[in-house]
Amino acid sequence: MIGISVRQLEVFVSVALTGTVGTAAQQLSVTQPAVSMALAELERQLNTQLFDRERGRLRLSSRGKELLPMAQEVLERIHEIMRQTGDHPSVLTGELRVGTSNTVGNYLVGALLGPFITRHPHVALQVSVENTDQITAALLEHRIDVACVEGPVNHPHLDVIPWREDALVVCAAPSHPLALRMDLKARHFKDALWILREHGSAMRALAEQALNHLPPGRILLELGQVEAIKQAVIAGLGIACLPYAATLDSVAVGRLKILDTPFLNLQRRLALVLHKSKYRGALIDAFVESVIPVPQE
């Protein structure tokens, strides 16, 4: 007879996502001893160790990593059963964890989340913003349900769904020598001082591709946030490739200038990314449809 309880699965998933018994207890509104007991009982019933203990944190064991998506699916199916048998079966509820890369999370979050929030106001959205590599890692570890990134993603366990076209633009302060040239050529970028994102970001990868088609320059700064790079460019410290959406306000008030660089290909495609083994219940399906509507026949 199966003795695993819903509470044990909730404890397992919460500890797996937070890494600590204390945080899991707060999320579940129970005591830490109750979480520890539920976890120990689950491990006993499954006859396996689900976590490795490392410096006060709990890391999923290899067996725990295998079981996490299955436990999440069981809980999500139970939530769907309860929703379908409730007073308002058509109303979506629950929590959806969305990960976005920096450009999407900081400048396009309204376009990404707006339609879903309008249609499903009772769903709680938990949004994390990091670079593309970090968001992809979170998706692979089932710490988020769906991602939207600006960089190319190639992994056998992930599905990539194109969302919209986007582009970077090369920017400088209006007083910068390159901004003052009327007929800008690639050769004029020789010895230019560049300000780039950190390694692991899609923006950094595309900027480096552009630099490979220009005369040698020098990387002056590496910064982890688009806004920090923009402010450094406005201050005249150097030039940078920035997301077009991030430049609009500063260009409008004359603090930043977009350089005309038809000799560079800075186009990119934003995409939704999902884990292939992740159960796609009503919440994920509704989110994907809100971002990329199904064509009407």
pLDDT in tens, 135-193: 999 999 999 999 999 878 889 999 999 999 999 999 999 999 999 998 999 999 999 99
Q: What integer pLDDT is reported at residue 162 of this predicted model?
A: 93
pLDDT in tens, 21-67: 999 999 899 999 999 999 999 999 999 999 988 777 888 998 998 89
The average confidence (pLDDT) of the chain is 90
CATH superfamily of 167-267: Periplasmic binding protein-like II (3.40.190.10)
Q: Which residues sit opposite 162 in a β-bridge?
A: 271
The pair of structure tokens assigned to 119 is 């249609």
Q: What integer pLDDT is reported at residue 1 of this predicted model?
A: 44
C-alpha angle 100-211-198 in degrees, rounded to nearest 5? 35
Would you say 32 and 22 are in contact if contact means Cβ atoms under 8 Å apart?
yes
The pair of structure tokens assigned to 267 is 């186009």
Parallel, antiparallel or unpaired: strands 146-149 and 123-129? unpaired
Torsion of CA 174, 180, 183, 185, to 10 degrees: -80
Structural fold of domain 6-85: Arc Repressor Mutant, subunit A (1.10.10)
Rounded CA separation 8/141 (Å): 20
Closest C-alpha among 99, 109, 166, 104 to residue 136: 99
Q: What integer pLDDT is reported at residue 55 of this predicted model?
A: 74
2: helix, strand or coil? coil
Pick the CATH number of 94-164+270-291 from 1.10.150.20, 2.40.50.140, 3.40.190.10, 3.40.50.970: 3.40.190.10
User: Residue 260 to residues 19, 142, 171, 183, 271: CA-CA distances in angstroms?
Assistant: 48, 42, 9, 8, 26
Orientation angle between helical segments 6-18 and 62-84, nearest 10 degrees? 120
Q: What integer pLDDT is reported at residue 94 of this predicted model?
A: 85
Q: For residue 285, is pLDDT > 70?
A: yes
- Cβ contacts of 216 within 8 Å, gap of 6 or more: 190, 191
Decide whether 6-85 matches 167-267 in CATH topology. no
Task: Give me the residue spans of the domains in the chain.
Answer: 6-85, 94-164+270-291, 167-267
Q: What integer pLDDT is reported at residue 208 of this predicted model?
A: 92
User: How do the residues of the chain divide into helix, strand and coil, expressed in percent and rounded to 5?
Assistant: 45, 25, 35
Tell me the whole-structure pTM to 2 decimals.
0.80
